[in-house]
Structure 1
Amino acid sequence: MTDSSAEIRTVTLDTPIRRGEQTIETVQVRKPKAGELRGLSLSSLLNLDYAALEGLLPRITAPLLSKQDIAGLDPSDLTQLGSEVMDFLLPKGAKAALSPTT
């Protein structure tokens, strides 16, 4: 059984999103299921490709980010969200190789 808290990450945006009167300061990113990756290239997601992230983020964020929201993100916020996606996609062995404990 997996730890559900590890499958949802909260990202605090450097530049909040404005939707009319609403201000979004944090976004939750959920670990995608295989079906949510349909039509997307895993290598593009791992390379933080904008088009791939634009296709995936509306499927796995809360509040739901629209393509318009994503287009208006500060680049640092897009990188933060993409980094969480990338971390979800890496196998445990690859993560351990990237940051071994000493």
Structure 2
Amino acid sequence: MNKQLFKVKLAIPMEVDGKEVAELELRKPTAGDLRGLNLVQVCEMHFDAATVLLPRISKLNERDILNMESENFAPIMTEIASFFVDTKH
């Protein structure tokens, strides 16, 4: 399977697994990654949807997401929403 990976520049670098991360790599979700999620909520950037989806498509875990600076949330979720509306992905 060909995994499509996309990088998101973080507004504020964060620590993940003891290392500073300035750019987060996201894998384009498969249908299985979306199980149990409401696609509209994912596209509308609902936080609860993000806490389920992000660990499935990135190296972040739930604790990383809960501790994330709020300035990083919008760019990450905008990239995820673009997977469903932008034909370039």
Q: Normalising by structure 2, what TM-score?
A: 0.85
For residues 55-78 of structure 1, what are the alpha-carbon distances to aligned partners after superposition, in whole Å with 9 as ceiling and x for unaligned? 0000111xx101111111122211
- Return the match for 1:39 from 11, 36, 39: 36
Conserved? CA contact 1:13–1:27, under 8 Å: yes
Q: Normalising by structure 1, what TM-score?
A: 0.75
Figure out how many residues of one structure are paired with residues of the other and give that number.
87
Cα gap change, 1:19 to 1:33, in 2 (>3 Å): closer
- Return the match for 2:65 from 61, 70, 94: 70
Root-mean-square deviation (CA, aligned residues, Å) is 2.0
Cα gap change, 1:90 to 1:65, in 2 (>3 Å): same
- Which structure 1 residue ranges, 4+ long, deviate > 6 Å from structure 2? none
Conserved? CA contact 2:55–2:61, under 8 Å: yes
Q: Distance in 2 between matches of 1:35 and 1:20?
A: 26
Structure 2: tracts of 5 or more residues without a match = none
